[in-house]
Structure 1
Amino acid sequence: MADHDSTDTAPHGAPETPLARRGLMFILSSPSGAGKTTIAKKLLQSDAGLAMSVSATTRPIRPGEQDGRDYHFVDKPTFDRMAEDHEFLEWAHVFGNSYGTPKAQIWAGLKAGTDFLFDIDWQGTQQLSQRAREDVVPVFILPPSIDELRRRLTARGTDDAAVIEARMDRARAEISHWSDYDYVVVNDDIDRCYEQVRRILDAERLRRERQTGLVSFVRQLTGDGSPT
């Protein structure tokens, strides 16, 4: 790995750059138990330039959760009205509850150069890709095997056998959509998987089309007004 001067990167997050940059929507999807929640937490803890997208949901608030931090908790009529008024970038029904991403905060953040992390399923990923493909970076995390996925779900000790079977059925359905994603990573080791996801995020931040200040910066370098 090449050496870097301490001024090249921010203390915890996206590389510092003289260029203005549009933010991105970094999506992590996986079947339950494949590790996306753990990886998402590690990314947020290590990267001050990444913000969690806070979804609206109709499910009841759980102990330790905070409205506006973990979710925007709303009742079903409110959620349905927001959906009818096209206030969501994406929304879906999951296990009897509704989840949706309010679009106003995301559009404003992207314009300001904020990167958002999304923990959503393949349905939400498809909706986001249809609405804003150039801003979306979809990553799918696979378990090393179905047997290991079942072991992880069982080891949680939070679900009975019937719920685990329902989650396994849903996992197989979700895995079948792996080819809809730009990146696919196998989580056979959580630290290695995290590093792979981290490198994807770093590389996507440097894509030419996201550097909104690149043309004027290059013109300054060439001194002839040329955009190339």
Structure 2
Amino acid sequence: MKRGKLIVFAAPSGAGKTTIVHHLLGIPELNLEFSISAASREKRGNEVDGKDYYFLSPKDFRQKIKNKEFLEWEEVYPENYYGTLQTEVDRICDAGRNVIFDIDVVGALRIKRKFPDETITIFVEPPSINDLIVRLKGRKTESEEKIKMRVSKAAVEMATAPQFDVIILNDHLENAKAEAEKIVADFIGLEKE
């Protein structure tokens, strides 16, 4: 059985990458399965452990780092870790499915360095920082302080965009979804009729 490929999406918070990833997961022909990341942050809203993230305490997360259980990980904010468990990726690839990731820019570039031939990195770019602020405030899930923290990080993340294989400008969601579909279909070698 052919091992699956790795499709890695990254973007600043609020750029729309999660919406695009969920859209792609709904297309059976792409044979995608979501790589559930581990996170040491609190659950938001209706998030479910083992579905949205594997929620770990900072202490448990650090133990898994020590045990070299992560393909990639990052301390995104103090005591706020995110990472990809090697077992999660192996499980999906070994089943012959393509792995789709929704992770931070640092993790995306690490995966590309480890698996250059099996990986495509896709950066979702917001139209502007102001659009990001509007989107983050519209979520109503985070404090003003957290939003400021995410916006200041966004400028740094956007500077990494040229290091990605592809940049999708999300100034119109339906166009961004269609562009992502074509990019992924081409990468996995799916013949479109």
Say yes or no: TM over 0.5. Answer: yes
Distance 1:160 1:116, change over 3 A: same
Residues 191-206 of structure 1 correspond to what in structure 2 (within 5 A)?
191-206=174-189
Give the structure-2-normalised TM-score: 0.88
Distance 1:179 1:202, change over 3 A: same
CA distance in 2, matches of 1:26, 1:132: 11
Unaligned runs of 5+ in 1: 1-19, 208-228
Q: 1:184 aligns with which of 154, 160, 167?
A: 167
Instruction: Note the C-alpha offset of 1:63.
Output: 4.1
Unaligned runs of 5+ in 2: none
Is the Cα–Cα contact under 8 Å of residues 74 and 107 in structure 2 kept in the other structure?
A: yes
CA distance in 2, matches of 1:161, 1:181: 30
Residues 48-101 of structure 1, C-alpha deviations (whole Å, 9 max, x = no match): 721110112222234422221111222223221211121110001123311111
CA distance in 2, matches of 1:112, 1:125: 22
Q: Secondary structure at the match of 1:80?
A: helix
| Count of residue pairs brought into register by the alignment | 188
CA distance in 2, matches of 1:28, 1:46: 16
CA distance in 1, matches of 2:51, 2:172: 29
Residues 90-109 of structure 1 correspond to what in structure 2 (within 5 A)?
90-96=72-78, 97-109=80-92
Is the Cα–Cα contact under 8 Å of residues 38 and 83 in structure 2 kept in the other structure?
A: yes
Q: Secondary structure at the match of 2:117?
A: helix
Q: Secondary structure at the match of 1:188?
A: coil
1:64 aligns with 2:59: no
Give the structure-1-normalised TM-score: 0.75
Distance 1:60 1:166, change over 3 A: closer
1:30 alignment counterpart: 11
Instruction: Note the C-alpha offset of 1:139.
Output: 0.1
Q: 2:131 aligns with which of 135, 148, 162?
A: 148
CA distance in 2, matches of 1:77, 1:159: 24
Could you list the structure 1 runs, at least 4 aligned residues long, displaced by more than 4 angstroms after superposition. Answer: none
Q: RMSD across aligned C-alpha pairs, in angstroms? A: 1.9
Please identify the structure whose Cα radius of gyration is greater.
Answer: 1
1:189 is matched by which residue type in structure 2? H
Instruction: Note the C-alpha offset of 1:206.
Output: 1.1
Deviates more, 1:52-61 or 1:172-181: 52-61
Q: Aligned residues: percent identity?
A: 32
Q: Which has the higher contact order (CA 8 A, sep 6+)?
A: 2
